[in-house]
Amino acid sequence: MLNNLPFFPPQASTSAAQVDALYFYLIGISGLMSLLIAGLLIGFAVRYRRRSRASRAGAVDGSMKLELIWTIIPFFVAMSIFVWGAGVFFHLSRPPDDAMNILVVGKRWMWKLQHLNGRREINELHVPLGRAVRLTMTSEDVIHSFYVPAFRVKADVLPGRYTSLWFEPTRPGRYHLFCAEYCGTRHSGMVGWVVVMQPEEFQTWLGGDARDVAPARAGERLFTNLGCATCHNPGSGARGPSLQGVFGSTIALKGGARASADESYLRESILDPQAKLVDGYEALMPTFRGLVGEEGLMQIIEYLKTLEPAAAQPGGTPQS
Ligand code: CUA
């Protein structure tokens, strides 16, 4: 039904209906409140206007009962918005384990995307119908924001860290992709399309021409060229911790703290190795800032994800 409203984008993801329902609930409450307040205001203004003969007897100067009513009812209304909103927020911030990962780098003024088999795209994103997709995003310069109205998803894309966003398309078609954060002169031109295809069509497209090296392979190459393996070798007595199975593990840090080895942790450890030093190792590693760019970092991390021990963990395995 909503798809026919001219001022609403189509609902093209599994989350769209949830977001819209909450949105209409908020509109409904705002509308009712406005009507109630405006209605009472106008009603009383007319009834008690100076020349009216309506009785002023029995005017109340303070009523505990009234105070309680108009405190408790709005409290529950506000809490319903909070609880419902938090539910939708948690849903939107937890991608399913089997989501397909895609790398996104924002840059003035374009979106650079790469699939895990190596296929690259600029300002276009092809995805299969009915499959959860997770975007791992960062920026090379300023803050951008990845926004697909038809999916009802939006997330800031920040320099210096990873953010992510997920969706599961439910309708084939072409949908607008916007940058929703003012990022300079050509911000308004930082737009593109998300193309939702039938799964078989998508597989054909994905395996199609101009395929680049898979990020995990490119990362392996960087890992070798930068000499990472000199210290990070699985042998005993190595100067750096073994990276076998590091992704997704919990790391014991010097000083007793713990860190979860997610994408952000790995990125930080490459650029600022001393920030979270692994317990039992010396602060020997130099920074690789300037030697490897954002795309290179993502590639190295994709490679590290493939270094899993025998018991494989779900999600994020490249199909190269
Ligand atoms: Cu990028 Cu606005």
Q: What is the 3 state secondary structure string of 122-191?
A: ECEEEEECCCCEEEEEEECCCCEEEEEHHHCEEEEECECCCEEEEECECCCEEEEEEECCCCCCCHHHCC
- Number of domains composing the chain: 2
Nearest-atom index, ligand 1, CA of 182? 2
Cα 185 to averaged position of ligand 1 atoms, centre (Å):
9
Query: The domain spanning residue 29 has which CATH number?
Result: 2.60.40.420
Note the pLDDT of residue 128: 94
Neighbours of 132 (CB within 10 A): 18
Say how far apart CA 268 and CA 297 lie, in whole Å.
Answer: 10
Residues 3 and 119 in one domain: yes
Pick the last residue of a domain from 178, 212, 246.
212
Locate 88 and state its tokens: 């939708």
Domain boundary, last residue among 212, 232, 267: 212
- Model pTM score: 0.75
Separation of 5 CA from ligand 1 center, angstroms?
A: 28
- Do 301 and 188 share a domain, yes or no? no
Same domain? For 130 and 19 the reply is yes
Same domain, 2 and 140: yes
pLDDT digits (tens, 9 = 90+) for 246-296: 888 888 888 888 888 888 888 888 888 888 888 878 778 888 888 888 888
Specify if 268 maps to a domain. yes
Residue 311 within any structural domain of the chain: no
Q: Has residue 317 been placed in a domain?
A: no
Do 228 and 289 lie in one domain? The reply is yes
Q: Are residues 19 and 35 in the same domain?
A: yes
First to last CA, the chain: 41
For residue 234, the CA-to-ligand 1 centroid distance in Å is 42
pLDDT value at residue 2: 55
141 and 184 together in one domain: yes
Long-range CB contacts for residues 266-269, cutoff 8 Å, separation at least 24: 266/300, 266/301, 266/304, 267/161, 267/162, 267/297, 267/301
Is 258 domain-assigned? yes
Distance, in Å, from the CA atom of 138 to the CA atom of 165, rounded to the nearest integer, reads 11
**Same domain (yes/no): 13, 159:** yes
The verdict on residue 266 lying in a domain is: yes
Same structural domain for residues 234 and 206? no
The residue type of 285 is M
pLDDT score recorded for residue 52: 86
Distance CA 164, CA 156 (A): 9
Using alpha carbons, select from 176, 27, 17, 202 the residue that is nearest to residue 92.
17
Is there a single domain that holds both residue 144 and residue 168?
yes
Confidence at residue 5, expressed as pLDDT on a 0 to 100 scale? 65
End residue of a domain, out of 155, 185, 212: 212
Domain residues for the domain of 283 are 215-305
Q: How far is the CA of 125 from the centre of ligand 1 (A)?
A: 17
Confidence at 319, pLDDT banded by 50, 70, 90:
very low
pLDDT at residue 194 is higher than 60: yes
* Residue 16 within any structural domain of the chain: yes
Query: Could you give the C-alpha distances from 290 to 141, 221, 232, 270, 287, in angstroms and in order?
Result: 14, 17, 20, 11, 9
Ligand 1 pocket at CB < 6 A: 106, 109, 144, 179, 181-183, 187, 190
Residues 132 and 270 grouped into a single domain: no
Tell me, yes or no, whether 102 and 228 share the same domain: no
pLDDT tens figures, 220-248: 888 888 888 778 877 666 778 878 888 88
| Lowest model confidence (mean pLDDT) among 81-90, 193-202, 206-215 | 206-215
Residue 310 lies in a domain: no
User: For residue 277, is it within any domain?
Assistant: yes
